[in-house]
Amino acid sequence: MAALAVFGAWDTPAAAQPLTVTALGDSLTQGYGLPQEEGFVPVLEGWLRERGHDVNVVNAGVSGDTTAGGAARIDWTLADEPDALIVALGGNDLLRGIAPAASRANLDAILAAADAAGVPVLLAGLPAPGNYGPEFKRDFEAMYGELAAKWEALHYPDFLGPVGEKAAQGLSLSELMQDDRIHPSAEGVRQIVAAIGPAVEDLLDRAVQEVPPPGN
C-alpha cells in the first residue's frame, strides 16, 4: 500500500504555482505617502485576486528612481525570476528634465534584459508637460509606444490616466492626489488600478503562455 501511495504521488501533477508579477518603478509604484496596504502594488494584487487571478505582485518601486536607476537594477530584479514585469518609470526623468534620448536608452536596456530572460512586459508611459518644449514632449511620449513595439511588449499610455482625464475636464484633483500634487491619494490609486488592471490581465495571459506546465 505504501508503494502504491508513493506511485500515486509521482503520478499526480504538481499544483500550479501563483504567478509573480514584479512592478519596477518609482514612488508611484512604491506607494509614497500612503499606508503600505493602500499603495499601488497591494491594491493591484487585491484587484487581480478579486477577479480570480492567482498572483503575487512584488513591489520593486524605489522613490526618486529614474529610468537610469531602473536600468541599473534590472538584472537583480530579473534574478528573482518573475513571470511578468510591469515597467513604470520616467516621472523623475521629467522632473529633472533629462533628455528623452537618455530615457529611451535606459528603457530600451530594461526591455532588452526582460526579453533575454523571456519575461513579458507591460510598459506604462506618462505624458510630458509642455514647459520643456514641443520636441521634448513629442520625443518623451513617443518613446513608450515605439519601444513597446520594438520589443513586442504591452503598452499602457498613461499610468496616471484617471488623474489626467479629470484634469483635462477642469475638475478638482483634491480627491485623487496628495497635497504635493505629485503622488496619488488612496482613492487615486484605486482609480489608477481599476484603469490599468485590464492591461495587467493581458500581461498575465502572456505570462501563462510563457510558463511551462508542471512537471516539464
Alpha carbon distances (Å) from 176 to 66, 100, 160, 173: 23, 28, 10, 5
Active site residue 174: no
Q: Which one of the listed residues 11, 172, 179, 180 is annotated catalytic?
A: 180
Q: Which one of the listed residues 26, 65, 93, 183 is annotated catalytic?
A: 183
What is the CA 97 to chain-centroid distance, rounded? 22
DSSP string, 20-38: EEEEEESHHHHTTTS-GGG
Active site residue 185: no
Q: Specify the residue for cell string 490581465.
A: 201
Q: HEC states along 117-180? A: HCCCEEEECCCCCHHHCHHHHHHHHHHHHHHHHHHCCEEECCCCHHHHHHHHCCCCCCCCECCC
The H or E element spanning position 54 is none
What is the C-alpha radius of gyration for the chain, rounded to an integer number of angstroms?
Answer: 19
**Nearest-5° angle of CA 140, CA 145, CA 146?**
85
Active site residue 183: yes
Q: Which one of the listed residues 27, 65, 93, 158 is annotated catalytic?
A: 27
The H or E element spanning position 4 is helix 2-11
45 Cβ partners below 8 Å, 6+ apart?
Answer: 55, 56, 57
- Catalytic positions are 27, 180, 183
